[in-house]
Amino acid sequence: MKKWIISISSVVLIWGGGIYGYYYLKDSMPKKLTVPSGLVAKADPAASKVTETPEDLKGIIHQTQKLVVKIELEDGSLGSGFLYNDKGDIVTNAHVVANASNVKVKTSDSREFSGVVIGVSSETDVGLVRVQGLVGTDPLKIARDRKGEVGDEVLALGTPLGLENTVTTGIISGVDRDFVLEPFKYEDVYQISAPIAHGNSGGPLIDSKTGEVLGINSAGMDEGSIGFSIPINSILPLIEGWSKSPMTNVADVAIATDQYSYEEEEYSIGDYASYLVEYFYDCLNQGDYVTAYSLIGSSWQSSITYEKFREGYLNTESVSIDDITASTDGDNATAVAIISADERKDGGTVYSKYKLTYNIGYENDQLKLISGKGERIE
């Protein structure tokens, strides 16, 4: 069994649209998704304002998740990180990458890259990983010149595509908190009402109004909905130093593994298939047609250009998944979804319900929506 980093409490499953405090996303795809990728592709300027300037909470979450990664170590330990600059540098917690030289990094579209640990502190819970495959990618915005304040609304994001991957919402409920969790000292950290859930450790704390990174999610309490996040501007000198002059010999850090890990469950191809359908519609809801198009198989893509694909959804205002079931046959799966759609027609909005059936399978070792068909049922 693999191990995940740090733990805390429950989540609420989201089918399609809507935000209810927590996002619960399915387990990471077992294989990579092919390019074109919404992570590196330029936004479609006509698709949606959200693609360039997120206007609401859900839009900020969708855009931020593309730049949050899952970090895997050889021993199976898992954690989160986020893209800090266009050099491909990933900020994470020191306890996530301690005593490792090389790691595996997976993006929100499940592409996989090799990363090299170029910085780890033995006192402050921060580390830095360089990923050559992400060089040139626009990073998250950083709140360099300001700190969060009590009452600020925040998001705590975790590992993309992990079954325990959550986006928790809350506020900064305290500042200047100090404590020790050996071997690290946490000084002047934020206390947040958004818990640091399974997989969130090492991920960014985001200002829900601006989309800027305020901190690094680092620790949580099992007794309640309390998390702690290191202010990003307090560790910028460390990050910038490693980025300019990478460490050649990363120091060993004594980690008490029972404080930082939990067991990962195993999930079936049916779980992965259901997630892929959900992620597909989440992309469509955000006007992220580039990523949605990248999730369909080559045969499907050969039968419809990106322009035609995008055009087919421009009159759809929103889609929610009412129900989804999946059956499996070896490495293939069939997902049946009941969706509700608000569609623009003749100057008004029409409510429709559809039953859609998708065949999901591997293409060049990557999970894809191979084909799909649908019928209107209401």
pLDDT band at 141 (very low <50, low <70, confident <90, very high): very high
Over range 188-209, report the average pLDDT.
84
CB of 172 closer than 8 Å to CB of 190: yes
C-alpha span between 167 and 153 (Å, rounded): 13
Report DSSP letters for 7-46, one per residue: ---------SS--BSEEEEPPPPSSPPPSS-TTTSPP-TT
Domain 152-233 homologous superfamily, CATH: Trypsin-like serine proteases (2.40.10.10)
Radius of gyration of the chain (CA): 20
**Which DSSP helix (H) or strand (E) runs through 59?**
helix 57-65
Selected residue with higher pLDDT from 364 and 373: 373
AA letter at 180 = V
The least confident of 16-25, 90-99, 189-198, 226-235 is 16-25
pLDDT at 338: 94
All CATH 2.40.10.10 domain ranges of the chain, comma separated, are: 64-139+238-249, 152-233
Q: Return the percentage of the chain with pLDDT > 90, whole number.
A: 45
Q: What is the side-by-side order of every strand in the sheet holding 316-329?
A: 316-329, 332-345, 348-363, 366-376
| CA distance between the termini of the chain | 45
Over range 81-109, report the average pLDDT.
91
Whether residue 47 has pLDDT greater than 70: no
pLDDT at 198: 58
Selected residue with higher pLDDT from 257 and 134: 134
The CATH number given to 64-139+238-249 is: 2.40.10.10
C-alpha span between 159 and 108 (Å, rounded): 8
CA-based nearest residue to 153, from 197, 227, 207 = 207
Over range 93-106, report the average pLDDT.
90
Whether residue 196 has pLDDT greater than 80: no
C-alpha span between 127 and 120 (Å, rounded): 4
Selected residue with higher pLDDT from 371 and 57: 371
The least confident of 86-90, 97-101, 194-198, 337-341 is 194-198
Over range 66-70, report the average pLDDT.
90
Over range 353-375, report the average pLDDT.
89
pLDDT at 40: 35
CATH number of this structure's domain 269-376, picked from the four choices 1.10.3720.10, 3.10.450.100, 2.60.40.1930, 2.60.40.10: 3.10.450.100
Whether residue 252 has pLDDT greater than 50: yes
pLDDT at 165: 52
**Which DSSP helix (H) or strand (E) runs through 106?**
strand 102-106
pLDDT at 222: 57
Residues in the chain: 378
pLDDT at 34: 32
CB of 294 closer than 8 Å to CB of 280: no
**What is each CA distance from 5 to 27, 44, 78, 142, 193, in whole angstroms?**
15, 35, 6, 24, 19
CB of 338 closer than 8 Å to CB of 322: yes
Q: Token pair 């995008």 is at which residue?
A: 310
The least confident of 87-96, 97-106, 110-119, 284-293 is 284-293
All CATH 3.10.450.100 domain ranges of the chain, comma separated, are: 269-376
C-alpha span between 288 and 38 (Å, rounded): 7
Does residue 312 come out as left (phi exceeding 0), alpha (psi in the -120 to 50 range) or beta? alpha
* C-alpha torsion 360→361→365→367, nearest 10: 10
The two structure tokens encoding residue 95: 């306890």
The least confident of 25-29, 193-197, 231-235, 276-280 is 25-29
Over range 309-336, report the average pLDDT.
92
The least confident of 22-36, 112-126, 254-268, 339-353 is 22-36
C-alpha span between 103 and 141 (Å, rounded): 24
What are the residues facing 142 on neighbouring strands?
Answer: 213
Whether residue 3 has pLDDT greater than 90: no
